[in-house]
C-alpha cells in the first residue's frame, strides 16, 4: 500500500471504551497521516468537570438517565488512554517500521497530545491547550486541507474558531482569514455529540466543509448491519486469534467480557463482565442500553473509526469528496446484494477488507522480519486516474498489479455504481491479462460469465490487467462513472489494495 498522500490530521476523542479501540486502529495507520494533534475533548457522553466541584446544570447523557446535577460524567481524573496507546505504539514502532515506511516517531505523537475543552459538554467559555493548538494549526501556512476528525463533541473546534473570530473579526485581515479557514478546514465527525456544530460552527463558519461520518458498522450495533460473509469478523474466535491475542495492542483492545472498564462507577459500561445475565447486571445498578449480552472475547465497538478511514491511502481516494465512498463509508446509499439501498451498506461493504487489514497490521507489530508477515498488493494505473469518454465508446483501462511477497492475486474490476453520477450500470465487456508491459500483444483471459458489474481473474506475477468498459449510449455530458480495480492477495489474512478511475462523459 503506497503512502504517497499523507493528510494532515487532528483527531479528537473522549474516554469511551470504543475511542480506545479507535486510537489503536488509528495508530496502526499513522504512517498514512501527518498527525498534528491528538486531543481529548468532551461530549454529551463524557466530560471531566472543572476540578472545582462545579455542578453542571445543563443537559447531557446524565440528565437523560435522570441523574444530576453532577460535577463530572464518565471521565476519571486519571484517564490517560491516549498516552497509554502511544506508549504501546512506542513498543511496537520498530517492528511496524520494518513493514511499512512513514511511521512517525513516538515522540512526535506524544508531544501532540493535548487536553481540549473537556470540562463540560459544549462549553466554549475557556481557551484550552487543545483549542489553542488547533487554532495555530488552522492559521498556519502549511498547504492543503487540515482534517479535523472528531469522535466526540466539537467544543474544542468551536473554541479554536471562536478565538480566531475574536482576534480578527473587526480587523482588515478578517476577510482573508475567514476565506483561508473556510477553505482549509474539513471536519469529519461522528455525529454532533455536543450540538456545537449546529449552534456555533455552522452558523458562523458555513463554508467549512463538514462530513458526517456516523456509521453503524463500526459501532456497538455492528452486528445489525454486518454482511453475512463478514459476521465472523465480530466473533470471539476470530477476534481472539487475530486481534486480542496479538501483542500489546491486542491486549489493550477492548472486547466483551475482558474484565476492564474505563471509569469507576460508570453505570453504562458493563461490557467487561462475563457470565452475568442482563438481570444480574441490572441488579448491580447498570443501565442496559445494549440489548444483548455478547460472547466473551467478541467485538464491542470502534464507534468513531469511520472518521479517518477514508483518509487511508488504500487507492480508493475516499477523501476527495464525501460522495466518493471508501472504508469510512459514503455520504449516500449503496445498494446491497439483496437490492436494498442503505447508508449502512455503503460502509459495511468494506468491513471484511478493513478487518483483515487491521489483523495484518497487528501482525506487523509482533513480527521483526519483513518476510514473516503479509504486505499489500501494489496496483499502478497505466491510464490516468481520470479520463474523458463519449457515449457509446469502449475504453480499456489498464493497471499493473503485483504483490511484494510474491503472492498470487485475484484482480477484480468493477463499477462503483453509486459513487458515479451516471445512474445506470456500465457493461464490462472483456478482461485481459497483458504479459508484455508494452502491451504489444494481448492474451484473452478466461473471462468469467459476463457480468456487467464485476470481472475478475487470477494473476501470478507482475502483469498488466486490462478491462474494457462499454460506455452506455444514454450517458450525458458531465456524468461520471467510477471504475475500481482491486487486488487481493492469496494468503492466510488476505489484503486488498485498490485504484479508482473516474470517467467523465463529454458529448463527443
* Interface contacts to Ca ion, rule CB under 5 A: 14, 16, 19, 151-152, 304, 374-375, 403, 405, 407, 489
Q: What's the CA gap between 414 and 469, in Å, rounded?
A: 10
CB of 377 to Ca ion, least distance (A): 6
**355 versus 374: smaller Cβ distance to Ca ion:** 374
CB of 428 to Ca ion, least distance (A): 25
* DSSP category for residue 160: H
* DSSP category for residue 244: I
Q: What's the CA gap between 242 and 245, in Å, rounded?
A: 7
**403 versus 433: smaller Cβ distance to Ca ion:** 403
**92 versus 360: smaller Cβ distance to Ca ion:** 360
**194 versus 489: smaller Cβ distance to Ca ion:** 489
**131 versus 193: smaller Cβ distance to Ca ion:** 193
Q: What's the CA gap between 37 and 9, in Å, rounded?
A: 7
CB of 304 to Ca ion, least distance (A): 5
Q: 3-state class of 197 per DSSP?
A: helix
**375 versus 500: smaller Cβ distance to Ca ion:** 375
Number of other CB atoms surrounding residue 21 within 10 Å: 24
CB of 378 to Ca ion, least distance (A): 9
Name the residue among 128, 87, 133 with its Cα closest to residue 106: 87
Q: What's the CA gap between 178 and 180, in Å, rounded?
A: 6
Q: What's the CA gap between 472 and 434, in Å, rounded?
A: 25
CB of 74 to Ca ion, least distance (A): 11
CB of 299 to Ca ion, least distance (A): 16
**19 versus 230: smaller Cβ distance to Ca ion:** 19
Give the C-alpha distances (Å, rounded to integers) separating 338 from 33, 399, 426, 447: 36, 31, 20, 25
CB of 43 to Ca ion, least distance (A): 6
**255 versus 426: smaller Cβ distance to Ca ion:** 255
CB of 321 to Ca ion, least distance (A): 25
CB of 470 to Ca ion, least distance (A): 32
**15 versus 106: smaller Cβ distance to Ca ion:** 15
Q: Which residue has the cell 475557556?
A: 126
Give the C-alpha distances (Å, rounded to integers) separating 332 from 136, 329, 392, 498: 34, 9, 28, 20
Q: Could you tell me if 362 and 247 are in contact, meaning their C-beta atoms sit under 8 angstroms apart?
A: yes
b/e for 494-505, b at 16 or more Cβ within 10 A? Answer: bbbbbbbbbbbb
Name the residue among 129, 97, 37 with its Cα closest to residue 370: 97
Amino acid at each position: 500500500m503506497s503512502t504517497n498522500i499523507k493528510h494532515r490530521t487532528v483527531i479528537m476523542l473522549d474516554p469511551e471504551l470504543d475511542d480506545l479501540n479507535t486510537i489503536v486502529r488509528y495508530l496502526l495507520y499513522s504512517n498514512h497521516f501527518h498527525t498534528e494533534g491528538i486531543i481529548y475533548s468532551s461530549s454529551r457522553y463524557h466530560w471531566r468537570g472543572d476540578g472545582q466541584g462545579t455542578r453542571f446544570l445543563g443537559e447531557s447523557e446524565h440528565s437523560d438517565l435522570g441523574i444530576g446535577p453532577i460535577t463530572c460524567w464518565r471521565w476519571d481524573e486519571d484517564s490517560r488512554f491516549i498516552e497509554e496507546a502511544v506508549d504501546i505504539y512506542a513498543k511496537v514502532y520498530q517492528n511496524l517500521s520494518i513493514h511499512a515506511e512513514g511511521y512517525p516517531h513516538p515522540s512526535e505523537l506524544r508531544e501532540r497530545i493535548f487536553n481540549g475543552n473537556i470540562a463540560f459538554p459544549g462549553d466554549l467559555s475557556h481557551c484550552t491547550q487543545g483549542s489553542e493548538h488547533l487554532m495555530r494549526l488552522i492559521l498556519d501556512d502549511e498547504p492543503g486541507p487540515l482534517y479535523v476528525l472528531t469522535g466526540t463533541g466539537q467544543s474544542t473546534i468551536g473554541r479554536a474558531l471562536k478565538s480566531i473570530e475574536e482576534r480578527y473579526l473587526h480587523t482588515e485581515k478578517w476577510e482573508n482569514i475567514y476565506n483561508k479557514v473556510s477553505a482549509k478546514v474539513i471536519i469529519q465527525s461522528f455525529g454532533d455529540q455536543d450540538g456545537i456544530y449546529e449552534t456555533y460552527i455552522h452558523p458562523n463558519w458555513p463554508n467549512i466543509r463538514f462530513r458526517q461520518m456516523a456509521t453503524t458498522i463500526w459501532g456497538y450495533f455492528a452486528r445489525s448491519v454486518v454482511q453475512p460473509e463478514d459476521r465472523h469478523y465480530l466473533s470471539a474466535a476470530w477476534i481472539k486469534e487475530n486481534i486480542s491475542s496479538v501483542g500489546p495492542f491486542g491486549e489493550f483492545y477492548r472486547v466483551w467480557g475482558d474484565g476492564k472498564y474505563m471509569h469507576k462507577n460508570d453505570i453504562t459500561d458493563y461490557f467487561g463482565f462475563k457470565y452475568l445475565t442482563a438481570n444480574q447486571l441490572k441488579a448491580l445498578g447498570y443501565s442496559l442500553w445494549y440489548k444483548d449480552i455478547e460472547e466473551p472475547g467478541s467485538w464491542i465497538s470502534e464507534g468513531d473509526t469511520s472518521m479517518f478511514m477514508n483518509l487511508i491511502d488504500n487507492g480508493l481516494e475516499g477523501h476527495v469528496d464525501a460522495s466518493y465512498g471508501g472504508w469510512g463509508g459514503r455520504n449516500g446509499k449503496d445498494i446491497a446484494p439483496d437490492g436494498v439501498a442503505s447508508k449502512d451498506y455503503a460502509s459495511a461493504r468494506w468491513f471484511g477488507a478493513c478487518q483483515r487489514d487491521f489483523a495484518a497490521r497487528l501482525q506487523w507489530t509482533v513480527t521483526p522480519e519483513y518476510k514473516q508477515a503479509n504486505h499489500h498488493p501494489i496496483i499502478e494505473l497505466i491510464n490516468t486516474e481520470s479520463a474523458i469518454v463519449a457515449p457509446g465508446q469502449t475504453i480499456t483501462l489498464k493497471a499493473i498489479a503485483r504483490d511484494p511477497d510474491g503472492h498470487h492475486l485475484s484482480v477484480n474490476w468493477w463499477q462503483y455504481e453509486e459513487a458515479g453520477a451516471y445512474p445506470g450500470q456500465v457493461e464490462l465487456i472483456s478482461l485481459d491479462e497483458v504479459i508484455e508491459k508494452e502491451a504489444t500483444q494481448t492474451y484473452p483471459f478466461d473471462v468469467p460469465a459476463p457480468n456487467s458489474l464485476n470481472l475478475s481473474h487470477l494473476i501470478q506475477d507482475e502483469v498488466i490487467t486490462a478491462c474494457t468498459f462499454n460506455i452506455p449510449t444514454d450517458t450525458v455530458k458531465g456524468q461520471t462513472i467510477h471504475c475500481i480495480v482491486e487486488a487481493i492477495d492469496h494468503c492466510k489474512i488476505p489484503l486488498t489494495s485498490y485504484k479508482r478511475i473516474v470517467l467523465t462523459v463529454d458529448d463527443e
